[in-house]
Structure 1
Amino acid sequence: MSVSVPRRNQVLIVEDKPSLASVYRAHLEKDGFACELAAGQPAAAAHLENSHVDAIVLSLELDGPDCISLIEKWSAGNPSASIIVIAANASINDAVDAVRAGAWDYLVKPVSRNRLITTLANACRSPAQQDATRPAGPSLPVTSAPDTMIGSSRAMADTRSQIEAIASSSAPAFITGESGTGKELCAQAIHDFSPRADQPFIALNCGAIPHDLMESEIFGHLKGAFTGAISDREGAAAAADGGTLFLDEICEMELSLQIKLLRFLQTGTIQPVGSTHTRKVDIRIICATNRTPQKEVAEGRFREDLYFRLHVLPVQLKPLRERDRDVAELASCFLDTYTREEARSFSRIDNDAVDTLLAYHWPGNIRELQNVIRQSVVLHDGEALETHMLPDHITNAKPACSSPVTGQNGRLLWQIERDVIEAAISGFAGSIPKAADALGISPSTIYRKRETWAEKSA
């Protein structure tokens, strides 16, 4: 009788510092991985041509061709291999670019043994690995965009594309946007599109929980750990194990707890309040804020090291006033929902009412629009929702001026904005991701604006 021996996961370590390469190899082989070393890109390329690997550990400090282009090349040429990037603190922006280029995850030096092993174990269980060993057959239809992210504007199309692009990664996502723009809905969509979709999605509002209870809410506590702790309680991090933890209003978190969150991100372990033991969990972090995180860092209210840990895959949600006809589409969707809930007869929104909704500034964004439609449905009935059925503050609002606004030296506002953004790009040697980070916007925003500027200049 033959005995089946499980196949060991094959890992290629690409590191030009022999001491580090040996340490990585020792850690991984002790945990059952089969490792090969490559001191540089040529040796790694030769190995990849002749051998199958399940994962590639790549140092961003390697000499030679641009590592981001290399990741794109290796990711395309070896789709079944998960690429793990290891970067120095000074290269965090390169690590962000690496994830966008196709890296499965990134680690920041120094890398602990547990962090390295956990990351490689998860990478070798990723969908790319499973697909590589799955028999060929009819492919499942791919949803082109999250159904819950409603709107046909360019801004909404960009957001859906971002969600699709970053969902498969395990790197942290950082959502920014004004209150009411749908940040939690966006986080849920990222989770639903990810390999973790069948695992828990746990949302925690850091601004709605008393500061002295926040640590317990995230990490849990033991009975008797503090006054009122009458029993053991599992925290949000443990509840989200295998899935996604969404930390809304992250900038409301106290500095003392930010240190503990940073330690958790570095080690992947949690320690309940009152416990002397730690527990390892596998979760993806998504956070959001309606503040400007760079300003919070500059003014000392948010730790810079935590910001760089979390601000890996930024998503910026546009305010409703910048989403064109999305107002009408969202309003129609809300009308259908509340017509059913309130047993009304509405089937459409009158054209004049649509124009009134489009003319309003919507400082409360989608949440305000939702409340306006619900109020109108509750208080009225009919075949069409008409202008007189809308609240007075909507119908009496002054429409925004439609004439061009000129700025310095007679230039239009978009021209001033263009000059500022292009100057930032030049200041970062042409790097759009770095310029976007410095300006507090997403790279996709710059790409979109450049297309718009080209059309206006034509």
Structure 2
Amino acid sequence: MLQKVLLVEDSTSLAILYKQYVKDEPYEFFHVTTGEDAKNFIVKNPPQLIILDLKLPDISGAEILQWIREQKIPTAVIIATAHGTIDIAVTLIQSGANDFLEKPIQADRLKTSIKNHLAHNKLEGLVEDIQNDFNRNKYQGFIGSSLPMQAVYKIIDAVAPTNASVFISGESGTGKEVCAEAIHYKSQRYNKPFVAINCGAIPRDLMESEIFGHLKGAFTGATTDRKGAAMLANGGTLFLDELCEMELDMQKKLLRFLQTGRFTPLGGSKEISTDIRIICATNRDPLIELNEKRFREDLYYRVNVVPIQMPPLRDRGTDILDIARYFLKKFAKQDHKKFTAIKRNVELKLSHYSWPGNVRQLQNIIRNIVVLHNDTHILMEHLPEPINSFKTSIKNTEKQHIKASNITPIKPITNTGPTLPTMTTSDNSTNAKKKINTHLIRPMADIEREVIENAIDYCEGNVLNAAVLLELSPSTLYRKKQVWDTYEESD
């Protein structure tokens, strides 16, 4: 995928000139005229490089730069400065800008600067990819690096650049709409509308009007013409949530629209064509709906080109804590509270709760705590019902945490390497010789693996518990375990 360069410049004539300078360069060049448009673009589709004008009609370039660095957005920033403001540009470089260009920007200077910064950004990105290949903690609105979510991220990466229909399934609160938005904003349609319709929340009589629109007088109450979602999403993406709850008659009309790309508004006689991508979702099992004749088989195979199964939160391991910390930080900042962290015993309880409401429930739990309390850490007594009365199934959880350094079931270390000769050392104070048992000397990597595997066995396969006992990051254990498994498979 081509790298992206964003120009934030309120002068349209200058933007046209700069676009002409780089029209043959091997990257995508985008332009916005205001600070708010720049923020929206950066959030939805982060560019690798931003050329930022200092004077904008709504927000100063300095404020945008500060926002970029506060949000830790991994992008290079070049300040575009007029003559007489170079001192300001130099100050901004000290505040996090990467370079500055003096207006009017010359073609060669612009192209060279962009080329150099993109090359540097790409190199940093390669290093980051190597380090974080198995630990993507934030991705297009998602939070979490668990293996089930990494599988979802890879499917999104693969399907987003195409026009293939996507059918997302999963329990309520697992992030199906976030998934649909991620596909949209990583596609070529990212700068076009994303329109979402909840098929389960719209009355049967209004569904056709909501999707296809209507003309004045089409039915009682239709006092004006109204565009439907199919027209509002033209050029972009139409997301149909809870598709299995749509009535069969409407499913038939939707199928024809998907096959032809054409529709007729209610009360109209002329067909209208539109160019949209369809993404559907359901919290039901579509195969059960097919068997029960509540979902058309032909529509199912039309929309189920690329299926994505969103994992429930209880299957996402350490993502639970990452998401909890994210919401804690967000809500504490919003409400000016002192919360900064979660106590370890609370983390264990959060990690082993079943979360029937998934991410939405976790978000509400953290919101409740932040609103009602004002400590620095989330404590057990802060937890509301039903999680407050939930009993963890971990064996002796508190004792395990207190005595993490004394895991008794660890297997004894055995010598698997070559026998080394017995060594002696001289004790200067007594001039006596001390024997060293070299049979216990082994490569540190072997010892580390044995300790980790014993801890996982002790926790009955629960990597999260093992990480707590070993006082390691769970993502580190997942990564090491995956490397070992891959090595064994290659053998």
Q: TM-score, normalised by structure 2?
A: 0.53
Instruction: Determine if the alignment matches structure 1 residue 247 to structure 2 residue 240.
Output: yes
1:452 shift after superposition = 8.6
Is there any run of 5+ residues in structure 1 with no aligned partner, and where?
Answer: 1-135, 404-448
**Residues 256 and 401 from structure 1, CA distance in 2 versus in 1: closer, same or farther, beyond 3 angstroms?**
farther
Higher radius of gyration, 1 or 2: 2
Contact residue 150 and residue 156 of structure 1 kept, 8 A: no
Summarize the alignment of residues 11-410 of structure 1 with structure 2, pairs less than 5 Å apart. 146-400=139-393
Contact residue 149 and residue 160 of structure 1 kept, 8 A: no
Cα offsets for 1:348-381 (capped at 9, x unmatched): 1111111111121101100000000000100001
**Residues 242 and 401 from structure 1, CA distance in 2 versus in 1: closer, same or farther, beyond 3 angstroms?**
same
| Backbone CA RMSD of aligned residues | 2.6
Cα offsets for 1:241-297 (capped at 9, x unmatched): 000000000001000000100000111012110100111100000010000111111
**Residues 211 and 182 from structure 1, CA distance in 2 versus in 1: closer, same or farther, beyond 3 angstroms?**
same
1:400 shift after superposition = 4.0
3-state SS, counterpart of residue 197 of structure 2: strand
1:392 shift after superposition = 3.2
Query: Within 1, Cα distance between the matches of 2:140 and 2:257?
Result: 33
3-state SS, counterpart of residue 392 of structure 1: coil
**Residues 226 and 355 from structure 1, CA distance in 2 versus in 1: closer, same or farther, beyond 3 angstroms?**
same
Is there any run of 5+ residues in structure 2 with no aligned partner, and where?
Answer: 1-113, 130-135, 397-481
**Residues 401 and 386 from structure 1, CA distance in 2 versus in 1: closer, same or farther, beyond 3 angstroms?**
closer
Aligned length: 276
Query: Within 1, Cα distance between the matches of 2:374 and 2:254?
Result: 50
Residue equivalent to 2:405: none
Contact residue 165 and residue 279 of structure 2 kept, 8 A: yes
3-state SS, counterpart of residue 274 of structure 1: coil
Contact residue 361 and residue 400 of structure 1 kept, 8 A: no
Q: TM-score, normalised by structure 1?
A: 0.57
- Aligned AA for 2:148? A
Contact residue 314 and residue 352 of structure 2 kept, 8 A: no
Runs of 4+ in 1 over 3 A off after TM superposition: 136-145, 400-403, 451-456
Quote the sequence identity (%).
Answer: 50
- Aligned AA for 1:317? M
1:340 shift after superposition = 1.5
**Residues 175 and 378 from structure 1, CA distance in 2 versus in 1: closer, same or farther, beyond 3 angstroms?**
same
